[in-house]
Amino acid sequence: MLGTASQAPTRQRNQNGYLLRWDGTGFLFDPGEGTQRQMLLAGVSANDVHRICVTHFHGDHCLGVPGVVQRLSLDRVTHDVHAHYPASGAEYFRRLRYAASFHEVATLREAPVEQAGVVATGSFGTLEACRLDHRVETFGYRLVEPDGRRMLPAALSELGISGPDVGVLRREGVLHRRGRVVRLDEVSVPRPGQRFAFVMDTRLCDGVYALADGADLLVIESTFLAADAALAAEYAHLTAAQAARVARECGVRRLALTHFSGRYPDPRPFYEEAAAIFDGDIVVAQDVSRIPVPSRRERDEDAGR
């Protein structure tokens, strides 16, 4: 959590900025103004950034792009960095990218989001975008890791399976061993893929639910408290209560609330409002803090163990 304020920074909160470490890939979401320095405070280097994902082109979600982009070159980041943003804002991105003179040596590949759907695939799984409902074109993002299987060492050794045979079994699903056929499901259990969802400025809409569906970690804006629901509707934002209802209905495991309006000096009511609705894990995000993606669901019980 690099920054957690909406619109204008406060003494306690910087404008938006979120770095997701997803195995070996770093996703930088919505770098607002000051993100470069927040990265420093959080111990994140330019080398940790592989993809930049911008939901929309209001300043609190993108004014950090110039600093971050220039830092990639200053630090001579050698891997390609990919940038995703609503295609309708390509002109804004171009201006942010070249807002000032610098020696461009890093490779930044732009892949604007034209429509909802798959944005990128890789070792991280699938990065998808869904349309949200704000005052300018906005896309939320989610990461979906494919389901896999976790091998059970005890079951493998019982059957004398080791080394390259494990790979064969994984790839082909069966292995001929000691005159019989061993099936993959005898020596492994399902390993459900993990999901991360990032929902920024929006009214409640289908896209919010589609993104949040089954998320292990949902990072979602809750600009307002329910007492100010009229303001939330007027400015096309969510309340903490709405975010909590989404988390409850979508089977979210950990709910991270952020993008708070500066009108609320005390963050506790956001927790209380959400906790009255959602009984999962709730974190009211703070700047320069870490929120772990919950560890994998264990489904050993499903396999009768």
Give the residues lining the site for Zn ion (CB under 5 A): 6, 60, 201
Contact at 8 Å (CB) between 145 and 118?
Answer: no
Amino acid at site 181: V
Q: How far is the CB of 55 from Zn ion (least distance, A)?
A: 8
Residue number with CB closer to Zn ion (22 or 93): 93
Closer CB to Zn ion, 59 or 294, in the complex: 59
Residues sharing a CB contact under 8 Å with residue 52, sequence separation 6 or more, in sequence order? 27, 28, 31, 65, 68, 81, 82, 83, 84, 85
Tokens coding 297: 């669901």
- Minimum CB separation of residue 130 from Zn ion in Å reads 17
Nearer to Zn ion, 29 or 124 (CB): 29
For the bound state, the minimum distance from the C-beta of residue 31 to Zn ion, rounded and expressed in Å, comes to 12
Crossing angle between the packed helical segments 65-74 and 90-97, to the nearest 10 degrees: 50
Nearer Cβ to Zn ion (60/128): 60
Q: What is the dihedral of CA 102, 106, 107, 110, to 10 degrees?
A: -50
C-alpha 259/C-alpha 41 separation (Å) is 19
**What's the rounded Cα separation, in Å, for the pair 120 and 203?**
26
Could you confirm whether 60 is annotated as catalytic? yes
Based on CB atoms, which residue is closest to Zn ion, 60 or 213?
60
Closest approach, Cβ 251 to Zn ion, in A, equals: 26
Catalytic residue among 23, 30, 48, 60: 60
Least CB distance to Zn ion at residue 234 (A): 14
Cα separation of 7 and 15, whole Å? 7
Question: Taking a C-beta distance cutoff of 8 angstroms, is the pair 220, 212 a contact?
Answer: yes
Which residues are known to be catalytic? 60
